[in-house]
Structure 1
Amino acid sequence: MSWTLTEEHLADLARGAALLGTGGGGDPHVGQLLVRQAIREHGPVLVLDPTEVADDALVIPTAQMGAPTVVFEKLPAGTEPVAALRALEYHLDRTADATMPIECGGINSMIPLLVGALTGLPVVDADGMGRAFPELQMETFSVYGVPGSPMAIAGEGGETVVIDTRADNARMEWLARGVTVRLGGVAHIAEYAMSGADVRRTAIPRTLSLALSVGRAIREARQANTDPVARLAEVLADTLYGHLRVLFRGKVVDVERRTEAGFARGRARVAAMGGATGQLELVFQNEHLVALVDGEVRCVVPDLVCVLDAEQAEPITTESLRYGQRVTVVGISTPELMRSPQALATFGPAAFGLPYAFRPVEELVPA
C-alpha cells in the first residue's frame, strides 16, 4: 500500500536507516537535512509499494557513492542525484516513472527521497541490498540478473559521466569508483534501470517502511523508559529480518580507520566492562563485515552487524566510532533472498576476502 512521506517521518527514518546501514552507507543526518528542505519547498513524497508499480514502468534507482569519511568534510550541493538521473534518462531516451534506493541503509535511504521531492517522482518502497554494502555489484538486482549499466555519475560541479559495461557489474563498480575518487571521493549516481516487474523479482520489499518502523521503535522505547534493544527485537521478529542477537556489550578501546581507494576501511575493538571479561573485534569496509568475540565469529556479512549506543540504542556509524564509547553490538539476520548461494558469492564473506564461511547469526548465537 502506498503512503505519503512527510517531514515528520524523517528523524525516525534516518535512525532506522543508520541501523540498517550496519555502520556504513553514509551518515543519514546530512540526507535528512536535504530531504527536509526539499519537502518544505516542494511538498511530500509518494512512496509506492512494489506491488503497485506497473510491470512496464521504468524505475531508476538513485544513490550516493564514495567513502563515508569524506562526506563529513565534503557536503553535497543537493543537485547531484537529479543531475545523474537526468543524464541517464537522456542516455536511455526515456523518462523514469519512479526512483528507488539501491540500499536502505545510511544516507542512501534519503537520496531517492530527495530526488522524489525535487522532481515529483514516486519512490518505490524497496531496495537492492536490504542493508548497506560498499560496492555497486553487491546488489540483489545484480545477483538476479539486472545489469547496472548504463549508469550515470554526477559531481557537485555539474559534471556527468555515463559508464556502460553491459552485464559486467563488477567492472562498472571499478570504473565508477575511479571516477568518484577523481570527483573528490564522493559522487551521486543513477543505475540499475529496470522494469516494475524486475523490481518485484529482484528487490527486497518495503525496506523504507522497515527503517521507519525500526527508528520509531527505538524512539518510543526510550520515551517509555523501556529497553530499546528488546523492543527492536520484537519489531524485527515479524519481518524478513526475523532474528536479533546481542553479540557484546562494552567500551570501545581502539579504532583503526583509513580512507583508501574510495572506501573507509579499518578495525575496532570493544572490551567488556564491569568485571566481565572478553573482547569483540569489528572489521569494516564502509560497513561492518564481521564481529568476532575472543576470536570466534559471532556474526558475518551479509547478516547485519550494528553498533548501538549502550544507553540510547542510537546507531553509531563506522566514521563516528570513537575511543571510550559505551556500546551494545547486535547481529540481525538478513532476508533469505540474500542468503542464496548466488547471493553469497556476490556479497558473502569471500567477496570481501574474509577467511570465514557464512553461518546465520541465529545459529552462531542461539536465542
Structure 2
Amino acid sequence: MKILRTIHADDLEDIATGGAILGTGGGGDPYVGKLMAQQAIRKHGPVKLVDVAELPDDALVVPVCMMGAPTVMTEKLPQGDELMNAFRQLEQLLGRKIDAVLCGEAGGVNSTTPFVVAAASGLPLVDGDGMGRAYPELQMVTFTLHGVSATPMVLCDDKGNSLVLDTVSNAWTERLARAATVEMGGSALLAFYSMSGAVAKKAVVRGTLSLCAELGRALRDTRHAHGDPVDAIVGMLGAKVIFHGRAKDIDRRTVGGFARGTARFDGVDEWKGHSFKLDFQNEFLMAERDGKILVTTPDLITLLEAESGNPVTADALRYGLRLKALAFPSNPQWLTPEGIALVGPRYFGYDVDYTPFAA
C-alpha cells in the first residue's frame, strides 16, 4: 500500500493546530489530543498516512473518536488506553481483523486521537474524516449519508467501564451514547461506523488530515516570516474575514453532554461600531453581524487570535480576547437535501433556512 507520508511525534503540533481551525470551535481541546498522540507515537513508532483510494474494497475500516462536552474533556483527561480498548473490543465483535483506522471528525482533539490507535496497532490511518470539520452529534457524519450504521459501537471510559450499543438508527445511537457519556462523567472514547474500503472511498471527506498539517505549518511559517498569519489561513481555505472584535460577553454552560452558549463581540478597527454574535453547541453554528445572519451550519465559522492567528475554541473563549472571525464553504457532501436535514440550521432549532456562504 502506497504511503502518503509518515507522521512523527513532532508533526502533531501542526496537525493539532490545523484541526482546531477546521474544528469550528469544537471537537475538544487540541492540546489534549496532541499529547495523547505524541505519547503513543513515541512509544510505538510513527503512523503511516494513506489515501482512501489505496484501500482494497474488502478492507475493514473503523473510525475512532472522543465524545462529550469539550469543557469536560479538558478537566477529565483520558488514561491513555481507552481508545485501544474500544478498538479491540469492536474488532472482536466484528469477528475479523481491522485493516485501517479512520478519523471521525477533523476538529480539535478528534483530529489527533486516531493517531493513538494507529500507532498502537501499527495500522495505516486514512487521510480523511467523516465531516470535513466538527459537529456535535454522532449521526452528523458523511457516513450516515452513505447508509453506514454507527453500530455496533463500543464506548469506554477512564474508569474501565465499556458499553456495546446496537441501535435501530444512527440518531438513536447518538441519544443512547450521549446518555451513557453523561453517566461516564461527561466524556467517553469510542469505536464505531465500521465500513468496507469500497464504502469508505465514497463516504470519506478526503485529505483533511493533510490539510490540518498544511494549515498548522502555514501558520507557523508565516509567523516566523513576520507575515500576517490570519491572511495566510484565509488564502489557504478560500475564507473571508467576517468580523474583527473583542469578546465582551460569553454565556456558556454544559447541558446534556454539550457545551452550549452564545458569544458576543464589539468591533475594533475596521469593524468599530459594529456588533457580532456567535451561537454554539460545542461548535460555532451561526454567526450574526449587526443583527443580520451571515453564516450558518454546515458552512464553517472559526475564530483566530487577531495577532497570532491561533485558533480559539468555544470553551477557550474569554472576555477581552481580540479575535478575527472567518467563514468558508462546507464540503459539497453536506449540500444535498439529506445533508442539510442532518446538519442544517433548522436541525439545531434556528428558524432560518440554509443559504450557502459565498467567500
Give the TM-score taking structure 2 as reference length: 0.97
- What residue is the counterpart of 1:240 in the other structure? none
Alpha-carbon distance in structure 1 between the residues aligned to 2:214 and 2:334: 21
Q: Which moved more, 1:182-191 or 1:351-360?
A: 351-360
Report the residue type matching 2:309 in the other structure.
Answer: A
- Per-residue deviation at 1:273? 2.2
Asked if the contact 2:253–2:261 (Cα under 8 Å) also holds between the matched residues in 1, the reply is: yes
Runs of 4+ in 1 over 6 A off after TM superposition: none
- What residue is the counterpart of 2:295 in the other structure? 299
Give the root-mean-square deviation of aligned CA atoms: 1.1
- What residue is the counterpart of 2:34 in the other structure? 32
- What residue is the counterpart of 1:191 in the other structure? 192
Alpha-carbon distance in structure 1 between the residues aligned to 2:356 and 2:310: 24
Aligned pair partner of 2:280 in 284, 295, 298? 284
- Identical-pair percentage: 46
Find out whether 1:334 has 2:330 as its counterpart: yes
- What residue is the counterpart of 2:78 in the other structure? 76
- What residue is the counterpart of 1:317 in the other structure? 313
Q: Which moved more, 1:286-295 or 1:218-227?
A: 218-227
- What residue is the counterpart of 2:207 in the other structure? 206
**What is the DSSP-based 3-state SS (H/G/I as helix, E as strand, rest coil) of the residue aligned with 2:27?**
coil
- What residue is the counterpart of 2:176 in the other structure? 175
Alignment of 1:5-44 (within 5 A): 5-44=7-46
Alpha-carbon distance in structure 2 between the residues aligned to 1:311 and 1:60: 39
**What is the DSSP-based 3-state SS (H/G/I as helix, E as strand, rest coil) of the residue aligned with 2:77?**
coil
Find out whether 1:244 has 2:239 as its counterpart: yes
Alignment of 1:216-295 (within 5 A): 216-236=217-237, 243-274=238-269, 276-295=272-291
- Per-residue deviation at 1:246? 0.5
- Per-residue deviation at 1:54? 0.9
Aligned pair partner of 1:117 in 111, 116, 119? 119
Aligned pair partner of 1:129 in 128, 131, 134? 131
Alpha-carbon distance in structure 2 between the residues aligned to 1:151 and 1:254: 39
Deviations 1:11-64 (A, max 9, x none): 111110001000000011011111111111111001111111110000010000
Alpha-carbon distance in structure 1 between the residues aligned to 2:235 and 2:288: 25
Give the TM-score taking structure 1 as reference length: 0.95
- What residue is the counterpart of 1:239 in the other structure? none
Alpha-carbon distance in structure 2 between the residues aligned to 1:112 and 1:234: 28
- Per-residue deviation at 1:335? 1.6
Asked if the contact 2:234–2:326 (Cα under 8 Å) also holds between the matched residues in 1, the reply is: no
- Per-residue deviation at 1:103? 0.3
Asked if the contact 2:301–2:326 (Cα under 8 Å) also holds between the matched residues in 1, the reply is: yes
- Per-residue deviation at 1:287? 0.4
Report the residue type matching 2:293 in the other structure.
Answer: V
Give the unaligned 5+ runs of structure 1: 237-242
